[in-house]
Structure 1
Amino acid sequence: MSGTALTVVLVIGVLVAAGITWGIVALVRRQQYIKSLRERGWTFVNSPQLDAVARLSNPPFGLGFRRDPDDQITGHTASGRPFQVIEYKSENWKGWVAMVSLSRRLPELWVMGGEARPRYGVEAAKMQSPGALGPAWQIGALVPSYAAEVLTPQVCNQLNGLAGGLPGLNLGIDSDQLTVLDPPRKDVDQLGPWLEQLAAVADAIDATPLDHRIQPEQPPRFSFYHHPDWHLIGVDDSLLHVTPTNRGGHNHRTEDVIRGRDGDGPPFVAFTHHWQTTRTETSTDSEGRTTTRTVTENHSEAILGFQLPVRMPELTVAGRSFGRGISFESERFNDQFKVTSPSTKFAYDVIHPRQMEYLMATSPAPFRVVEDWVWFAPGDHSQVSIAHNSRFLREFLAGVPRFVWRDLGLAESPYPPLDTVAVPGGR
């Protein structure tokens, strides 16, 4: 063996030994850490179930389809208040969250101090910080008067104390949980007193007259932020037989199945459909020898459908493409959209001038009415896409004239006009 080769072998051996040593040290430290938790009477779970965070719906929870809890610490504070410190990973965030229980289910509220940055995905109005906290704090809520009710001088005093040990306090109310990002969980001797301070904040909130703000209890299911009637199912391959999925290929399966509705809008089902196709390729080399190989390709498509209360004639609305559809009085609309239907009268009744203006203003994804379903071609399966198309369709259906619904057998329109035609989450 040459000197260079020997040197390489020695270096590799040193690195392997160092890696093994580091792994042993890390394992010992982890076991010592877990032991110190249990000595306090706390419970440590290496792989908690998703149920540990399923009822939480405010960021970082309630967003996306990837929701993975990891190490979990649970126990009770000195006053008997349940707490949880858990590692959590989603599509847009990874870190640790601490939480203690409140006595009531309350609306969302966001309180950030120091170097804290707003949580990803939060939709709340910013408002002035109360004097007891000071101008360096950021406050967010959907209803300003609610924030003022919660942030009493007593609550603010406890928040100031809790923030003293952190570079930036990022606190929120999520139903009956008071949550904080990035707690001081590495040092158990520091974590214990800090959890007591967090419990003191919860005590102060519980002592505040907020019974008129109590929120209804939600079903125990995996919910979504600002969409309480959505729920994540995961897999439901029975949908492959009743939805307009691609029927070619093999190994068909569903992923990230969601069911739900927004307010009084039509209920929907949404998921990603995966499948494979296989083909045989034959090639001949320069010497005339033939070889054959099998190539398998993976495919996926986003499926999104909304169920109507009554069957409708078929109607397709898509972007302009080759060929012409039904001609409408607006050339600008005809240049932007292609509308097809076996019933021209139905198309004219539904796509009236105001509906044309709405379609041109919103530029929706292509959609097709088939019996009592509206199927979209959303392009991607995401929370934003579902919300956008749900809001669009609700407005579109509100624009269908009353006489059309009556002709279809309904006494009145099932979708009265909304206050605004804005489409949140627009793309």
Structure 2
Amino acid sequence: MSPTIWIVLAVAGIGVAIGLYAIIRRQRYVRSLRERGWTFNGSPTWDAVAQLANPPFGLGFVRKPDDQITGSTGAGRPFQVIEYGSEHWKGWVGMVTLSRRLPELWIIGGQTQLRYGVTATSVPAPQQLGPGWKVGALDQAFGAAVMTPQLCERLTVMAAKQPGLNLSIDGDQLVVLDPPRKDPAVLAEWLDQLAAIADAVDATPLDQWIQPARPSRLTFYQHPEWYWVGVDDSLLETTRVTRSGHSHSTSDVIRGRDGNGPPFVAFTHEWKTTRTESYTDSEGRSQTRQVTENHSEAVLGFQLPVRMPALSVGRKGFGRGISFESGAFNEKFKVTADDTKFAYDVIHPRQMEYLIAGPPAPFEVDGDWVWFSPGEHSHEVIEHSSAFLIGFLTRVPRFVWRNLGLPDTPYPALLSGVSQT
């Protein structure tokens, strides 16, 4: 045989050997886990992370749980160690179960930064922890109550072996990034240290902050009433989507609401178009062929409690819209409506100030729905549009809602200083 063939065979043999070594090593690792009474699952379902909503969980539409180890610590506390990936983060997470569901809390050691997407108020770190520690919570009183001397002592012990400790409370789970999972013996010791921290949290009187159980479904960070649906092609018959073309489908369907705001549905709509085009082949003959193109659009709609006259608000472009008393508003926005008086009632001076201060994606009121044209389907776009629309509807005067047949505004003034006369 030629030298080239020998080289190819040698490379192939090395590849096979490496593959066999990886398989044998993984089998030994899994066997060592099971010898400890733990369970290994190479293909966990969404249920493994369905109750988790704080970063790295609860963000984005791509969420991939992978290898999972479950069992109990030496003291009998349930634990989970799982590989997890999203658009924003990929790695391993370890957690033990607490006795109560508690509010969000973050404890970060060393120079480690808060996890992507986290919004929390800084709580002074106890001096017992030493320099470099950061503590964050949405409820400062809760954050202060958790940070007992006993907890600080156990955090310091664990941080001595894991510098840059990145710990959080997510419901009834005490969660830490980057567990030492390669050596089961080291992992067992680490889990016992994490369980000791959980013991300190459980021993602290925190019952006044107990949180309600979350539904068993994929939710979103800071939006407990949002939930993942995935696919729902029935929406193609009931929502405003492009009707032309063929092979229509939905993906990344999200439903929910924010507080007392209007419920929404958001998803990506995909479809195809096929056309016949003429071309000349290499021999100069005229031919035809079918060309199929893929298309997609982001769909975002909020359902109102009552039908409204048609109204659209978009960025200033071609064509004339309704003229308002604010020149600054007229330069930025184009408003059209079937009922001009209704437009003037809704787009009053305070509403114009609100729109100028935080311009939304173009939107249109159509019956009892408000449809946005966001340009993309993302967690951030839904969040921004929902917050904007609540503020917009809050500023619709009471007499407008009464004229539409409601006894009063369905969206009370949640924002300070908003008049609804």
Give the TM-score, by structure 2 length: 0.97
Residues 194-252 of structure 1, C-alpha deviations (whole Å, 9 max, x = no match): 10111111011100000011111122111100000101111100000010100011111
Distance change in 2, residues 1:75/1:287 (3 Å)? closer
Q: Which residue of 1 aligns with 2:379?
A: 383
Q: Are 1:78 and 1:196, in contact at CA under 8 Å, matched by a contact in 2?
A: yes
CA distance in 1, matches of 2:94, 2:414: 39
TM-score, scaled to structure 1: 0.95
Distance in 1, matches of 2:85 and 2:282, equals: 53
Deviation at 1:421, TM superposition (A): 9.2
Gap change, CA 1:18 and 1:313, over 3 Å in 2: same
Match of 1:204 in 2: 200
5+ long unaligned stretches in structure 1: 423-427
Equivalent residue number for residue 92 of structure 1 = 88
The code of the aligned residue for 2:334 comes to K
Give the corresponding residue for 1:139: 135
The alignment status of 1:405 with 2:386, answered yes or no, reads: no
Instruction: Find the counterpart in structure 2 of residue 341 from structure 1.
Output: 337
Q: Work out the CA distance in 2 between the residues paired with 1:382 and 1:163.
A: 36
1:237 pairs with 2:233 = yes
User: Cα gap change, 1:128/1:8 in structure 2, threshold over 3 Å: closer, same or farther?
Assistant: farther
Residue 31 of structure 1: aligned partner: 27
Q: Could you report, residue by residue, the CA deviation over 1:266-301 in whole angstroms, capped at 9, with x for unpaired residues? A: 110100001111112211247431222221111110
Q: What corresponds to 1:327 in structure 2?
A: 323
| Correspondent of 1:154 among 143, 150, 161 | 150
Q: Structure 2: how far apart are the matches of 1:300 and 1:195?
A: 46
**Correspondence for 2:349:** 353
Greater Cα shift, 11-20 or 278-287 = 278-287
The alignment yields a C-alpha RMSD, in angstroms, of 1.5
1:115–1:169 contact (8 Å) kept in structure 2: no
State the percentage of identical aligned residues. 64
- 8 Å contact 2:322–2:336 — kept in the other structure? yes
Q: Which residue of 2 aligns with 1:307?
A: 303
**Offset at 1:164?**
2.0
283-292 or 13-22, larger mean C-alpha shift = 283-292
Q: Is structure 2 residue 182 aligned with structure 1 residue 186?
A: yes
More divergent stretch after superposition (401-410 vs 412-421):
412-421
For 1:106 and 1:256, how far apart are their aligned partners in 2? 29
Per the TM alignment, residue 43 of structure 1 is displaced from its structure 2 partner at its CA by 0.4
In structure 2, the partner of 1:249 is 245
- Residue 274 (1) aligns with residue 270 (2): yes
Is the counterpart of residue 56 in structure 1 residue 52 in structure 2?
A: yes
- Give SS of 2:49's match: helix
Any unmatched runs of 5+ in structure 2?
A: none
1:105 and 1:252 mapped to 2: Cα distance?
A: 42
| Pairwise CA distance, 1:113 | 1.2
State the 1:158 CA deviation. 0.9
C-alpha distance in 2 between matches for 1:214 and 1:253: 41
The answer for the alignment partner of 2:214 in structure 1 is 218
Please give the alpha-carbon distance, in whole angstroms, between the structure 1 residues aligned to 2:5 and 2:350. Answer: 77
